Structure 1
Amino acid sequence: MQRSVAVVGAGAAGAAAAYALREHPADVTVFEKSGGVCGRAATRRRNGCVYEYGANYLTADDDRVAELVTAELPSEGLTEIDEPVWTFDADREIREGRDEQTTRWTYEQGITQLAKRLFAAGDATVHRHTRVESLERSGAGWRVTDAEGGTYDSFDAVLLTPPGPQTADLLGQSEWEHADRRRLRQAAASVPYRTVVAGLLHYEFELDRPYYGLVSEAGDHDVGWIGREECKAGHVPDGETLLVVQMAPDWSVTHYRDDAATLTDAIADATATLLDDDRLAEPDWTDHQHWRYALPDDGVGADALETAAAHDLFLAGDWVAGEARLHAALRNGLRTGERIGEHL
């Protein structure tokens, strides 16, 4: 018997779950509020550049995810970042930093290729620009209603992958009168998040540095991370520099509502000061992104997951795993998809 599953969110976890469900007789429908896929593992293109302004790369820290990327999905355009990640402290002292041997991957076409390839390998129907407004539980299963009033039913199971607070809001708006709804909503809402504002700074010259990325050693600087997109094959034309600068959470919260020019000027000034290069205060073009729910600092307890599953409801994402890493979202999505298949 063909069963049906609704997946809310086309991020890494949702895409991985849909991929895992291809092994089961399940009709999978994915609802994504934006026009793109892969969530916070996001890619943009501008002036001949490809850049990742959320998750910067995928690490080989999980064997299942490494097998997925290198052996199961098409590997065309998969590229490693060879340069190391160094650290800096509150006094702007830069050091040869993390002694990490892990592999860092992205794609020449951008990190969103992960979700695109996962969906292509499966047989899910993806509705983009479709914001799920509420869920309704009935004897026939789950009904999904979008922000335009469109309804989709009935699903044997629902998987929720938006960040914890957004999942909690969706549960709060759902027509599901059960004591467990409140407990699940509280569990999702209680996951703490760090907010991050990212600035993209482009220059018509090449920056000669021995590292790909810089990370704040103790998180006590206004800048949290700087990545050089030109270290990724196919991302930046020769002779140019594109820096992805992710500001620290406290700074990001304080400046979250600054206008674009004020925001990017401040980020460029902080970058120039940290790298001791006055040229970096004057990028020739900029971009920015606000991530209100960027990095979860905790996860969801197993009891909440079991409670949800008893109602044919499932949760997935880095916020469920409790680890703010792209490989954790993928791994959790794969496991949750397999669990849904077994459940059905």
Structure 2
Amino acid sequence: MTEIGIVGAGAAAAATAYVIDGARPNADVTILEKSRGVCGRAATRRRDEITYDYGANYVKSDDERVVELLTETLDDEGLVDVTEPIWTFTGDGEISEGRDADEHKWTYRAGLTQIAKRLLRETNATIHLETRAETLSRDDDGWQVTDADGKSWGPFDALVLNPPAPQTADLLDDADWDEDVRADLLDAVRDVDYSSVWTALLHYPFEIDRPYYALINTDREHEIGWVAREECKPGHVPDGESLLVVQAGHEWSADNYDEPADRNVAKLTERTAELFDDERLADPDWTDYQGWRYALPEEGVHGGPVQSAEDHDLYCVGDWVAGEGRVHAALRNGLDTGERIVYRV
């Protein structure tokens, strides 16, 4: 039986597992995920009757294969499309109609985590949550992974790494395998730069009436990089209420990442009220937050070392491999990687 190990349960990993299971139903796929849920930064929370995507906001229709996956291949029950446009604003807070370039902005009534959940539901993969991979090694029997509790997993005929590039680099740093290939891959992975994003969620017991779904800062001169109205997603927010997803720009996020959360929420709330020119927004009735230290890759990894690692049955997947910090890019990369594994292993 073919044994496949996957570290991380993000969208790309789920797509990889989906392809492998579909083509090789007898393969045994084991997924080790450090958190309590799947789909990585395409994350969803629920509070009372409210569902909100607090990381990635939606999947756009920029890839035909991903469009087919979401709308035809997988069960599309609960798939919803945000129809309101995205407008722009500048560092001085001037809002413009802008250009809404995304033909579709998809999520699910139950939130973006449904992407990974639905992909994995179609497989026989075994998922171990709250299991943090710590060390990797490879010998004649294949790949082994040791977790933070000292438990060994494997041997695997192929191993897939889905964490963000800096966390993948940590795993590769002392991995026990071919030293030249390891060193080249490690250097390439370390060269991938990331933007950080600090997110505040602001709830109001009234509806915010605006002609747009979201605002995006175009000149990177504002503390806020993005603010979206979650109530524009069907099924997410009850009528008569509003929930703003406020994502700070990279510079502000990096400078304030380790500051107290209540301070950061207060500052972003103040700036949001100013941007919307609505003093009511300075007083949300409840808030939430999340920091994403490795949110968006600035560029993709150099392909040569990644391909060389695949000759040793080690595969890297994710938006940082695709070179675009978008959910559709991660999904497509996972689908493509799954096909290569099926072909080679």
Q: Give the TM-score range, shorter chain.
A: over 0.9
Please state how far the C-alpha of 1:173 moved relative to its aligned partner. Answer: 3.0
The residue correspondences of 1:7-46 to structure 2 (distance < 5 A) are: 7-22=6-21, 23-24=23-24, 25-46=26-47
1-side partners of 2:33 and 2:199: how far apart?
Answer: 22
Q: Which moved more, 1:98-107 or 1:240-249?
A: 98-107
Mapped contact 2:200–2:289 kept (Cα < 8 A): yes
Equivalences for residues 1-344 of structure 1 within 5 A:
2-22=1-21, 23-24=23-24, 25-344=26-345
Name the SS of the counterpart of 2:240 in structure 1. Answer: coil
In structure 1, distance between residues paired with 2:109 and 2:100: 26
Amino acid at match of 1:82: T
Bigger mean CA offset, 99-108 vs 310-319:
99-108
Matched-pair contact (CA < 8 Å) for 2:11–2:39: yes
Q: Which runs of 4+ in 1 moved over 6 A?
A: none
Instruction: State the Cα deviation string for residues 226-270 of structure 1 (Å, max 9, x = none).
Output: 010000011111100100000000001111112121111001001
Could you tell me the TM-score, scaled by structure 1's length? 0.98
Per-residue displacement from partner, 1:156-211 (whole Å, max 9, x unpaired)? 00010101110010011322252211111111111000011000000011100000
Once the two structures are overlaid, the 10-residue window that deviates more, 258-267 or 328-337, is: 258-267
CA distance in 2, matches of 1:190, 1:295: 14
SS at the partner of 1:55?
A: coil
- CA gap of 1:179–1:330, structure 2 versus 1, over 3 A, is same
Instruction: Provide the alpha-carbon RMSD of the alignment.
Output: 0.9
Whole-angstrom CA distance in 1 between matches of 2:46 and 2:104: 24
Deviation string 1:120-175 (CA, Å, 9 cap, x unpaired) is 01221111110001111111101111100111121000010101110010011322
How far is 1:101 from its partner?
A: 5.0
CA–CA distance in structure 2, aligned partners of residues 146 and 334 of structure 1: 26
Secondary structure of 2:234 counterpart: coil
CA distance in 1, matches of 2:149, 2:43: 26
- Residue-pair matches, total: 343
One-letter identity of the residue aligned with 1:206: E
Amino acid at match of 1:64: R
Q: Which runs of 5+ in 1 are unaligned?
A: none
Q: TM-score, normalised by structure 2?
A: 0.98
Tell me if the contact between 1:133 and 1:173 (Cα under 8 Å) persists in the aligned partners.
Answer: no
Q: Identity, % of aligned pairs?
A: 54
